[in-house]
Amino acid sequence: MNVVDQLIDAGRRLVASGLSPGSSGNISARDGDRIFVTGTGVSLGQLASTDFAVVSISGEYLGGARASKETPLHVGFYRRDEEHQAVVHLHSPQAVAMSCRVPWAENSAIPPLTPYFVMRVGQTPLLPYRHPGDEALGEDIHSAPWPLRAALLANHGSVVAGTSVHDAVDRAEELEEACRIALITDGAARRELTVQQVRELADRWESPWTGPS
C-alpha cells in the first residue's frame, strides 16, 4: 500500500474513533525526500488521492492540493529526527481539554498514570500557545529541549510522530486515552507510577522520558 493510501485509511480510522471532529486535524507521511500532507479544509474521513499536498522536508510547496496551514508542525517533526516517518495532528476532545490545563511538569503535560502512555508515547510537553498556522509552531517542535515524539499545543490540540502511519495513529489514540484518564482522575487521591517504574518502562521500550515522575 502506498503512502497516500495509508493516509486515507488512517484518516477514516481517526474519524471513526471520534478523534477528528468536522474538518479538523491533519496527517502526513514522509516518502523519501517528500512529505505528503492533507490539504486544507478536508475531512479526514473523506480523503481522496487528490486531497494531498506535496512539500519538501524544509516545507517548500512542490505540488498537489493546497497544503494545510498546519504543515509547519509536521515539518518540525521531520526535521527533528529521521525516525519520524508520519505525523498526526488532532483537535481531539481529551487532548484539547488537557492542553487548556496547567501542565503536570515541564517535560510532560500528562502524568504517568499507566504503563501504556510511557511505553507507547512517552513524555508529552505542553508547547506555548500560538495561533493556528503560525510557522513558529514548527520551530517549537524542532527545537524542543526534551526527547519527544508527541506534544500538546496550548489551547489547541495534539501532535504525534511515528515510525509509520500506523504507528503514529496508534500513538495518537494512546495519547487521547492518557489525557482522558488524567482528566477523570483529576482531584482524586490518584497513584502515579513511581520514578523507578517509569524509568524501567522507558528504558525497556526505548521511549522518551527525562523528567520527574
Q: What is the tens place of the pLDDT at every residue in 109-154?
A: 999 999 999 999 999 999 999 999 899 999 999 999 999 999 999 9
What predicted TM-score, i.e. pTM, was given to this entire model? 0.95
What's the rounded mean pLDDT across residues 33-37?
Answer: 96
The one catalytic residue among 60, 78, 116, 135: 116
Q: What is the pLDDT of residue 44?
A: 94
159 closest CA partner among 181, 167, 206, 168:
168
- CA–CA distance, 25 with 44 (Å, rounded to integer): 7
What secondary structure does DSSP assign to 24-52, as a single string?
--EEEEEETTEEEEEBTT--GGG--GGGE
Lowest mean pLDDT among 49-53, 74-78, 187-191: 187-191
The one catalytic residue among 60, 61, 70, 174: 70
- CA–CA distance, 77 with 90 (Å, rounded to integer): 15
Q: What is the tens place of the pLDDT at every residue in 171-212?
A: 999 999 999 999 999 988 999 999 999 999 999 999 999 976
Residues shown for the chain: 213
Q: What is the tens place of the pLDDT at every residue in 4-22?
A: 999 999 999 999 999 998 8
- CA–CA distance, 178 with 193 (Å, rounded to integer): 13
Side chain identity at residue 48, one-letter code = A
Question: Is 116 in the active site?
Answer: yes
CATH number for region 3-205: 3.40.225.10
Question: Is 176 in the active site?
Answer: no
